[in-house]
A = this chain, B = another copy of it.
Amino acid sequence: MSAPIVNRRDLEFYLYEMFNVESLTNRDKYQDHDKTTFNGAIDTAQAIAEKYFLPIRQKVDANEPTFDGEKVHLIPEIKAGNDAVVEAGLSAPAADYEMGGMQLPLVASSAAYAYLSATASTSLGYLSLTNANCNLIEAHGTQQQIEKWVHPMRAGRFAGTMAMTEPGAGSGLADLTTTATKDAQGNYRLTGSKIFISGGDHDLNENIVHLVLARVKGAPKGVKGISLFIVPKFLVNDDGSLGERNEVALAGLFHKMGGRGQTSTALSFGEQNGAEAYLVGEENKGLMYMFHMMNEARIMVGTSAAVTALTGFQYSLNYAKERPQGRLLSCKDPESPPVNIIEHPDVKRMLLTQKAYSEGAYALCLYGNQLADDETTALTSEERLHAKTVLDFLTPIIKSWPSEWGPKANDLAIQVLGGHGYTNEHPVEMFYRDNRLNPIHEGTTGIQSLDLLCRKVPMNKFSGYNAFLAEIEKTIAETTASDKLSEYSKSLEKAVANVREVTQQVLGAASSTNPDLVFSNSVSYLNMFGHVTIAWLWLKQAAIASQALAGNIHVDEQHFYQGKVQAMKYFFNSELPLTYHWGNLVKNIDSTAFDTQTEWL
């Protein structure tokens, strides 16, 4: 039996039981939809994944893009698969009809995408970056820019990228040096170098639309002097046809440990007269616009990490069910047949841990999608504001938790397969390599942790922080009297109280102490908050499962819900206690790292 790409029953649990997407059909935007259209989108995605991507999953990895000095070459199967995605309307299933989308709620769109992402996480990046690029121009560009750039991108003719990182700056955007010069006519010419530009060059589309951060000559130093430009690979005539090659040159490809379906490029802009560049919005507001894309990209990164963990879990689960080896400790008869390895308690532990990490991470990402949806389509302005407030707060956790714990799930998938998992007989070693990028790109875990603790927590008088903890406390109140859940509800209550205490102490210290010291344990803070968040999502899942188990249901359904309860128990017993350890380091302002002089290392 081959492993399912992801667990379909589980996807439907999220959609219809946990996030209740059917209830969204009372919103104007989604009035055409119902369970049939949601399931239809997922069916289509599954069919494309099985037909185009699953058969070449490891081939893509083994044949990274090449550059012959003139052109980039990908294996042709990538284009065939991506074209099928675009033709099915799945390149941006949440986009409006007029933009060529299916106008699906984000949670449903994300569930459909799970099949594609699990089989083609990296080659699909060309489409998802294009989508994010379109969303940004739609939000901040002019009508003319939307027609010229977004329409052909939505139609699959053009692709899009985001170009931020520079060789000398990395995560330090304040120091970027790419320069735009404005001429007398008000046109911009851009020069500079960018690195790690995903999809920065390839042969999948007619044209590539780069969104580039640059500094207009004379702009203020630091992040306040950064503007955003559209810089196409080929200029485009007014009738939409391609014009001349713009001054955007591929300086080289990076060779990555994973994610080998997608080119990572070094680009050189304007080597002669400067590349033609079109300002988006106003000068010096580029970083704010880019954050629009980046916040979306951060949720995308989290989701990709979660889905890679989900598919690794399913793969190793299937293997463990079929692979006989060894006997239980309780068996003293060497003549008895070996058991399937899933029977070994330590293998169960590794599978249950993967389930808790991957499904917990995925529930978090879908929750983020729900908030992103509510932010724009909820019926009242209070609900919209509430969703925006919580999502802004949670974004660093949605980005980081799946990125940190998803790879740990993939690590266990390898371990379940043992020596076989270390070879390319099976895809689990590829999942492990692919997933390793996620704690790095779109802001490292360290950067996310500072964003959470120093910005998001105190922002607007702690409004996001308090609004989110109130959500957790609502679930605690709903479960505290339940026979089956009360124990866990109380555990979570205690853990939340600890979060509040730790937060108060560390931010209290910030007023009088060197911020470099006070915030030096920010990653522990992120770990603590992330684990409490995931524990909450598991308690919610277990509450739904407990209710279902109280009814008269089919045995397969019983197993499914028991699995949810068991993964919750695992998370509360084996993971939640760690939050006190991390909290102590933060609360006590542990200075071990801060005190370390560089010469001591």
Contact = CB atoms under 8 A, between A and B. Distances in A.
Contact of A593 (B570, B590, B599): B570
Contact of A422 (B170, B429, B440): B440
A415 B440 contact: yes
A597 B423 contact: no
B329 A516 contact: yes
B418 A222 contact: no
Contact of A596 (B165, B258, B348): B348
Contacts of A521: 349
B515 A221 contact: no
A172 B563 contact: no
A593 B562 contact: no
Interface string A31-59: 00000000000000000000000000000
A334 interface: yes
Nearest to A423: B254
A450 B328 CA distance: 11
A463 interface: no
Interface in A552-590: 559-560, 562-563, 566, 569-570, 573-574, 577-578, 581, 584-585, 590
Given A569-B592, A598-B343, A423 B264 contact: yes
A441 to B, nearest CB: 7
A524 to B, nearest CB: 8
Contacts of A348: 520, 593-594, 596, 598, 601
Interface stretch (A230-238, A272-280, A430-438, A489-497): A430-438
Interface string A170-194: 1110110000000000000000000
Interface residues of A, number: 103
Contact of A585 (B224, B343, B574): B574
A600 B559 contact: yes
Nearest to A169: B325
Contact of A436 (B321, B414, B581): B414
A172 B221 contact: no
A119 to B, nearest CB: 20
Contacts of A334: 174, 221-224
A142 interface: no
Nearest to A420: B170
Interface in A366-417: 411, 414-415
Contacts of A432: 257, 436
A566 B578 contact: no
A70 interface: no
B559 A345 contact: no
Contacts of A195: 419
Interface string A338-360: 10101111111101100100000
A330 interface: yes
5 closest pairs, A vs B, by CB?
A222-B334, A345-B520, A349-B593, A563-B600, A172-B326
29 contacts: A170-B325, A170-B419, A175-B325, A223-B334, A224-B334, A254-B425, A255-B423, A256-B424, A256-B429, A257-B429, A329-B454, A340-B598, A345-B593, A346-B522, A347-B446, A349-B521, A349-B523, A415-B439, A415-B446, A418-B440, A419-B441, A422-B436, A422-B437, A559-B597, A559-B599, A560-B600, A569-B592, A573-B592, A578-B581
Interface of A: 165, 168-172, 174-175, 195-196, 221-224, 254-258, 264, 317, 321, 323-330, 334-335, 338, 340, 342-349, 351-352, 355, 411, 414-415, 418-419, 421-425, 429, 432-433, 436-437, 439-441, 444-446, 449-450, 454, 514-517, 519-523, 559-560, 562-563, 566, 569-570, 573-574, 577-578, 581, 584-585, 590, 592-601
